[in-house]
């Protein structure tokens, strides 16, 4: 099968389109023909030698956590997801080979039926970002009526879904973003928007109960500055790997709670997300679509950090 692989850490040009053996399904796994694959910041970090790079056991490796595609082989004859079923989900990269390929294997617990309202390209943009947003906003920050929640990096893949989920559960959402995204963030459900290019959020935002930090300290000490607006005992949930090494010490000194977050490929939660998509309470935005051989360009774009919503690789026509 075709796969976009890399054999060593480096810049996007280390990605190579090659022919590699098809994965072999075992036990309760499904074999999936990939139609589209999501592109995420963790992909670029891992390719560059950070992120999950240390867990790669052999090379060449294949990236790509989330996907949309068609079941080719099921675990057994009476399984609910039979060959021909359109599904989407999130794999266990790099424990298993990823979705930048014609086929992949995943456990049955990681996939659900694709919403018929979404194309494969749109569906591939959902799993990792939506599950991360859910985990940070709902499971960890406990979004609820009357809560004031500040979301940094709100226009990105995770961020634009986090805004919608927090608003859906009743939180008063304050979103930071660039000038071009302010109106869009308001349309997604943000009650207040802050232009990070012209305003210091700590100068215009009142006290908040929770911060969803999708930036960290990699840009203008965003995470550390967030502690100034967080109420005593409030919580900050940091997402990007390696973006705030001093989180624990700084939060303790400020008298607030702080935690990182790492997403799990949870099909049960993805099924809830699916219902929100089908009821049109949650919408995914795809900023750009690239063909599989152009994955390196997609990595260059995502590393610039100005993506609105998600980037997707089109693996085949479907």
Give the pLDDT confidence of 269-295 residue by residue, as tens digits.
999 999 999 999 999 999 999 999 999
pLDDT at 306: 86
Burial class (CB in 10 A: 0-12, 13-18, 19+), 17: middle
Which long-range contacts does 17-20 make (Cβ < 8 Å, 24+ apart)? 17/292, 17/293, 18/60, 20/60, 20/62, 20/101
pLDDT value of residue 265: 95
CA 175 to chain centre: 17
Beta bridge partners of 236: 211, 258
Q: What is the residue whose two structure tokens read 């961020």?
A: 159
Distance CA 289, CA 283 (A): 17
pLDDT at 305: 86
Among left, alpha and beta (phi > 0; psi -120 to 50; other), residue 220 is left
| pLDDT in the model for residue 317 | 85
pLDDT tens, per residue, the chain with 318 residues:
999 999 999 999 999 999 999 999 999 999 999 999 999 999 999 999 999 999 999 999 999 999 999 999 999 999 999 999 999 999 999 999 999 999 999 999 999 999 999 999 999 999 999 999 999 999 999 999 999 999 999 999 999 999 999 999 999 999 999 999 999 999 999 999 999 889 999 999 999 999 999 999 988 899 999 999 999 999 999 999 889 999 999 999 999 999 999 999 999 999 999 999 999 999 999 999 999 999 999 999 999 988 999 999 999 986
Residue 289 has a pLDDT of 98
pLDDT attached to residue 77? 95
Give the length of the chain.
318
Whether the Cβ atoms of residue 157 and residue 125 lie closer than 8 Å to each other: yes
d(CA 8, CA 103): 22
Quick one: pLDDT at residue 48? Answer: 96
Domains of the chain with bracketed CATH? 2-126+284-314 (3.90.180.10), 129-260 (3.40.50.720)
Q: How far apart are CA 182 and CA 175, in angstroms?
A: 8
Q: Which two tokens stand for residue 62?
A: 């294949």
């Amino acid at each position: 099968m075709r796969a976009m692989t890399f054999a060593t850490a480096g810049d996007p040009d280390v990605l190579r389109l090659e022919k590699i053996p098809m994965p072999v399904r075992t036990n309760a796994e499904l074999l999936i023909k990939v139609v589209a694959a999501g592109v995420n910041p963790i992909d670029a970090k891992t390719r560059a030698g950070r992120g999950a790079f240390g867990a790669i056991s052999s090379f060449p490796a294949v990236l790509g956590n989330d996907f949309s595609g068609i079941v080719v082989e099921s675990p057994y004859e009476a399984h609910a997801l039979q060959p021909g079923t359109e599904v989407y989900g999130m794999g266990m990269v790099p424990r298993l080979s990823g979705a930048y390929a014609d086929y992949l294997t995943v456990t049955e617990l990681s996939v659900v039926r694709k919403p018929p309202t979404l194309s494969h390209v749109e569906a591939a943009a959902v799993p990792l970002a939506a599950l991360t947003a859910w985990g940070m906003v709902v499971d960890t920050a406990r979004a609820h009526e009357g809560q004031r929640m500040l979301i940094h990096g709100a226009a990105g893949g995770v961020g634009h879904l986090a805004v919608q989920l927090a608003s859906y559960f009743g939180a008063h959402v304050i979103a930071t973003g660039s000038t071009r995204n302010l109106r869009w963030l308001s349309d997604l459900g943000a009650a207040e928007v802050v232009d990070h290019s012209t305003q210091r959020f700590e100068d215009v935002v009142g006290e908040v109960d929770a911060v969803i930090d999708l930036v960290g300290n990699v840009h203008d000490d965003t995470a550390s500055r967030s502690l100034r607006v967080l109420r005593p005992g409030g919580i900050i949930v940091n997402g990007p790997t390696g973006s705030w090494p001093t989180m624990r010490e700084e939060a303790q000194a400020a008298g607030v709670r702080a935690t990182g977050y790492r997403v799990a490929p949870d099909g049960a939660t993805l099924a809830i997300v699916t219902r929100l998509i089908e009821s049109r309470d949650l919408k995914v935005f795809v900023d750009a679509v690239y063909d599989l051989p152009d994955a390196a360009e997609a990595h260059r774009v995502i590393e610039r950090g100005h993506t609105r919503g998600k980037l997707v690789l089109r693996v085949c026509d479907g």
